[in-house]
Structure 1
Amino acid sequence: MRALPVLSRADSCLARGYATSVDDDLGTTDKRESMHFDLLVVGAGPAGLSAAIRFKQARHLFGVRLPNPPQMKHKGNFVISLSETVRWLGRKAEELGVEIFPGFAGAKVMYGPGGEVHGVQTNDFGVAKDGKRKDSFQLGMALTARATLLAEGCRGSLSQAVMKRFGLREKAGAQPQTYALGLKEVWEVAPEKHKPGLVVHAVGHPLPWDVYGGSFIYHMPDSRVALGLVVALDYRNPHLNLYQEFQQFKRHPMVARLLEGGTCLQYGARTLNEGGWQSIPSLAFPGGALVGDSAGFLNVPKIKGTHTAMKSGMLAAEAAFNAMTSQPAGRPLDLSAYETAFKSSWVDQELFRERNIRPSFSLGAGIWGGIAYSALDTYLLRGQAPWTLRHRYADHERLKPAAECTPREYPKPDGQITFDLNTSLFRSQTNHEHDQPPHLRLVNPKLPEVGCGSALIVVNLPVYDGPEARYCPAGVYEWVAGDDGAKHLQINAQNCLHCKACDIKDPTQNIRWTVPEGGGGPSYTVM
């Protein structure tokens, strides 16, 4: 009696379809159902089964449970929607008499006669794409104040201008800021899979070993789950597609099981400051101050920055109030007391303890080296190491030429758990008036390596294989073939999610994100 060979499946099925094959015995052509796997082992004896088991064990090295570090413990905290929380804060502010101007974007910093910040100017309405005034044209407002607090969030355009004008980074001896892009979805999952209050954090998967990043899953009320992938923007391989990496994260068996049968409600993306304590600029400037992620107060190991942002805002407000009651009217307010208060606050102490975690992943030893150092710093040194690791490069300086890197292949979306980009963009509810000047601009249109419109970019494309088409999570930058057969850059500004990744990662730093006509952009309701 002869034993028949057994086919063992070492990994989950990725696709099911039909294949046409020729039966050697019958000489006929049959249409057969087909299934595709990561690994197929023919034979289920000791060798075959050992191979399958070892392959599974190797797979499970990623996602493996790690000891829960103290900064990742969330007992006693609340899982919230930041969009809903901000709306609640808005109502509370209005109840106190605060005037809120939704739909108006701060387009330009206004300066007083002595060079101090005097307020901001909102952008003009009703300007056509060609720069001409439409019938609906309306000049933007000049909003002036004795003190101006810039709380634009990560990579705010006005904050960047003020930091440059007053040399705030140089004044503080701050190291280069480093960033990450966070891609996020909110799902409604099956009630039996929902565990209110459950928080899951992971590091690495599905990213390459030399890319810093991780993921999160938060079980919110009402069977909703927020999940996302955070990818550091100092990655080297220009072939990395950040949106596709996020889709790949959802293919992990644990994540896929959670989402099966659920409904994706919303998609969005935003950059995060990851430089931490050593990248914080000087906070006060003549006539105002930087608060929140305009300065960069994210606690990277916790992946949390809302608590530090709120505290910095409160400290700045107290300093502004005290300055207004004690300093002469008609002169620029000095908010240096805010910086003093910040440096003696728990925020500074918290960020100081975590200062070496993020840069440890850039020492050349990859994800495992960073994890090893982080364990040493957290459990043995308890954040009090007698040294401070450095951020040596800005993110845009890190890309390697495409020819030196391996391309990344990504499966097609299934439409159930993974989606094409246009479907996700629809869920972001992003919208811009089409007939307006583009808010994504070139610093120097005459720079020989960058053109605009149908002009060919002659550095980004041949050297880096057009990375903007892959680091942008919204399909804003698209390479299309022209009538001459050459690829040309098409900018779909209407897709923009306002994440600022292009402003950060462009290798030549010639792309600048500016505010569009007020009210344009994504409309998040449950993010």
Structure 2
Amino acid sequence: MTEESQPTRESMEYDVVIVGGGPSGLSAAIRLKQIDPDLQVVVLEKGSEIGAHILSGAVLDPVGLDRLIPDWRERGAPLNTEVTDDNFYVLGAAGQVRVPNWPMPPLMNNHGNYIVSMGNVCRWLAEQAEELGVEIFPGMAASAIVWEGDRVRGVVAGEMGLNPDGTPGPMYEPGMELHGKYVFIAEGVRGSLAKEIMAKLNLCEGHEPQKFGIGMKEIWEVSPEKFQKGRVVHTMGWPLGRNAGGGSFIYHFEDNQVLVGFVVHLNYENPYLYPYMEFQRFKHHPMVAELLEGGKRISYGARAISEGGWQSIPELSFAGGVLLGCSAGMVNVPRIKGNHNAMLSGIAAAEAAAEAIAAGREGDRLEAYDAAVRGGEIAKDLKRVRNVKPIWSRLGLWPSLALGGFDMWVANLTGWNPLGTWKHGKTDAQATGKAADFKPIDYPKPDGKLSFDRLTNVAFSFTNHEESQPCHLRLRDPAIPIAVNLPEYAEPAQRYCPAGVYEVIEGADGPRFQINFQNCVHCKTCDIKDPSQNIDWTTPQGADGPNYPNM
């Protein structure tokens, strides 16, 4: 729509508007109401329910939950599987070498952590929030920022019924403007509103570019005799080798369910790399296959992961709001954990906003939130591991284990990083090499037992999009995929997407680029990795997307 044709919308006023019903947004909502029960707080969630779009490993460090709801055990929080066994392996094609736990810094120890479904944890957090009087609106995608000069005044949510060309259809609903004294952006990794705010207000200036990985996950029900509740396994090495950084996780959860995940760092060079097929090949490793044989896959999903760490965190506050959790990038890469920091960020933002509102302020920068993050537990967690990712990216796996381990050990003991702060340099899109410099990779065909083709697996994400709406994957220039990306990069969108959204179709008039947006699981990889930065991921209409039951 043009600016002149924007519909007239009703508006609602709140003290705090929170975009995103994940751990950071829900923690902020709860903390706000704990401080002042009279605050008007609303949480907007684009999924069909809280948890529907949540995908995480996950081994949860309960430090954030301890701070937020100290009696969470008595309240029945779904943390039922404490880690009992922590294992780390480097894989080869036919075997593995276990790395002993003793040389690793204490921060890598999972003692006292819990294997969880973060979707179920968020559902429980939502119940706690609603008991305190927080309004939660699922199925309400926040699709636009309401700007008042350079201040974020609110968001537009709930617009539905647009035709494919973007014009209002017969069942059009214009949505509402939700205004807040402060707006918390808690969309998760590479959210469209956070991306817009960071670009318009130059929040990333002076900081390293954010780095990302693509995380793919399946839940398997395995034979009872193979299940070891509380067992945690992480691997590196095969099948990625020198093609890309990354690794896997295998968590023995509950009810004979094992969470099997695979992460590929998106700074890989070879455009022929196919992250999804690397994941499928991984399951044929003898150690993994022995666990999964005789079991059945019951769920699949994928999500980008922020990996830039300390040096990539942008300015966190802006006039009228803040960035929370993975919208800012607070994952501890070697620990493969970010949920605890997301919760801590929500708590810190809530405390800063509640103090400001009590003082009669609104719409300004919550600089106390920036200070709390950069001088508190989140900083302590991320500073100690700040060099692991850039060392890995530049020097490879083994140097990162040695040099990164040394740097973490000294930082853990003294709070000082002897290697200083390494830079990331290129974005993941810029890291993509030209197809002419690489050879295609021959991947084994999925066997339908341990490994599966993408479209079969996408059915296990239970994703759904109303086909009559505009495509939410927008090309800045529709000609680029065929004119530029195909000849120069062999159009890597065909491979980096874990849901088979993008295809190059050969026809009588030559190749054409097809977008099957109905398959999208909202991982955001395309927005990150496209070498021409030609794809913008935006929110589809509310409730559309995956429907993860217990990811």
Q: Identify whether the pair has TM-score above 0.5, normalized to the shorter chain.
A: yes
Q: Render the CA deviation track for 1:350-408: whole Å, top value 9, x for unaligned.
A: 10000001100122x32222222122223356462241111111000011111211211
Q: How does 1:168-179 map to 2 (within 5 A)?
A: 168-170=203-205, 173-179=206-212
SS of the residue corresponding to residue 504 of structure 2 reads: strand
Deviation at 1:281, TM superposition (A): 0.4
Q: Does 1:370 align with 2:405?
A: no
Partner of 1:162: 197
In the alignment, is residue 333 of structure 1 matched against residue 364 of structure 2? yes
Structure 1, 156-165 or 371-380: larger mean CA deviation: 371-380
Q: State the distance in 2 between where 1:360 and 1:62 align.
A: 26
1:353 corresponds to 2:377 = no
Q: Distance in 2 between matches of 1:234 and 1:257?
A: 31
Residue 6 of structure 1 corresponds to which residue in structure 2? none
How many angstroms does 1:482 deviate by? 1.4
Deviation at 1:60, TM superposition (A): 6.6
User: CA shift at 1:135, angstroms?
Assistant: 2.1
The two structures have a TM-score, normalised by structure 1, of 0.84
Contact 2:162–2:470 (8 Å) recurs in 1: yes
Superposed CA RMSD in Å reads 1.7
> For 2:276, which of 210, 219, 243 is the aligned residue?
243
Hey, what does 1:498 align to over in structure 2? 522
Give 2:534's aligned residue: 510
Q: 1:181 to 1:147 in 2, by over 3 A?
A: same
How many angstroms apart in 1 are the aligned matches of 2:150 and 2:531? 32
Residue 410 of structure 2 contacts residue 416 of structure 2 at CA under 8 Å; is this kept in 1? no
- Residue 458 of structure 1 aligns to which amino acid in structure 2? A
Q: Which residue of 2 aligns with 1:87?
A: 123
* CA distance in structure 1 between the partners assigned to 2:192 and 2:91 by the alignment: 45
Distance (Å, rounded) in 1 between the aligned partners of 2:209 and 2:109 = 29
Any idea what the Cα deviations from partners look like across 1:9-60, whole Å, max 9, x if unmatched? xxxxxxxxxxxxxxxxxxxxxxxxxxxxxxxxxxxxxxxxxxxxxxxx9947
User: For 1:83-482, what aligned pairs fall within 5 Å after superposition?
Assistant: 83-112=119-148, 114-170=149-205, 173-328=206-361, 331-363=362-394, 365-380=395-410, 382=412, 384-386=416-418, 387-445=420-478, 450=480, 457-482=482-507
Partner Cα distance (1:294, 1:271) in 2:
11
* Partner Cα distance (1:337, 1:391) in 2: 28
Specify every segment of 5 or more residues in structure 1 that has no aligned partner in the other structure, as ranges. 1-56, 451-455
Between 351-360 and 413-422, report the one with greater CA deviation: 413-422
Kindly tell me the number of residue pairs found equivalent between the two proteins: 456
| 1:142 aligned partner, one-letter code | E
Distance in 2 of aligned mates of 1:160 and 1:508: 17
Higher relative contact order (CA 8 A, sep 6+): 2
Question: Aligned equivalents of 1:227 and 1:179: distance in 2?
Answer: 19
C-alpha distance in structure 2 between counterparts of 1:357 and 1:71, whole Å? 13
Aligned residue for 2:456, secondary structure, equals helix
- Structure 2: segments with no counterpart, 5+ residues: 1-89
Q: Cα deviation per residue 1:73-108 (whole Å; 9 max; x = unaligned)?
A: 211211111111111111111111111111110100
Quote the Cα distance in structure 1 between the aligned partners of 2:334 and 2:249.
12
In structure 2, how many angstroms separate the alpha carbons of the residues matched to 1:206 and 1:150?
37
Alpha-carbon shift at residue 123 of structure 1 (Å): 4.7
Distance of 1:254 and 1:116 partners within structure 2? 54
Task: Note if contact 1:71-1:301 (Cα within 8 Å) is conserved in structure 2.
Answer: no
Pair 381,141 (structure 1): closer, same or farther in 2 beyond 3 Å: closer
AA aligned to 1:350 is D
State the 1:204 CA deviation: 2.1
Does the C-alpha gap of structure 1 residues 374 and 226 become closer, same or farther in structure 2, counting only changes over 3 Å?
Answer: same
Q: CA separation in 1, counterparts of 2:147 and 2:411?
A: 46
SS class of match (2:405): helix
Q: Deviations over 1:249-271 (max 9, x none)?
A: 11111111111111111000000
Q: Structure 1 residues 61 and 475, CA, compared in 2 at 3 Å: closer, same or farther?
A: closer
Does the C-alpha gap of structure 1 residues 200 and 498 become closer, same or farther in structure 2, counting only changes over 3 Å? same
Q: Secondary structure at the match of 2:403?
A: helix
Kept in 1, the 8 Å contact 2:309–2:332? The answer is yes
Offset at residue 344 of structure 1 (A): 2.0
Structure 2 letter corresponding to 1:351: L
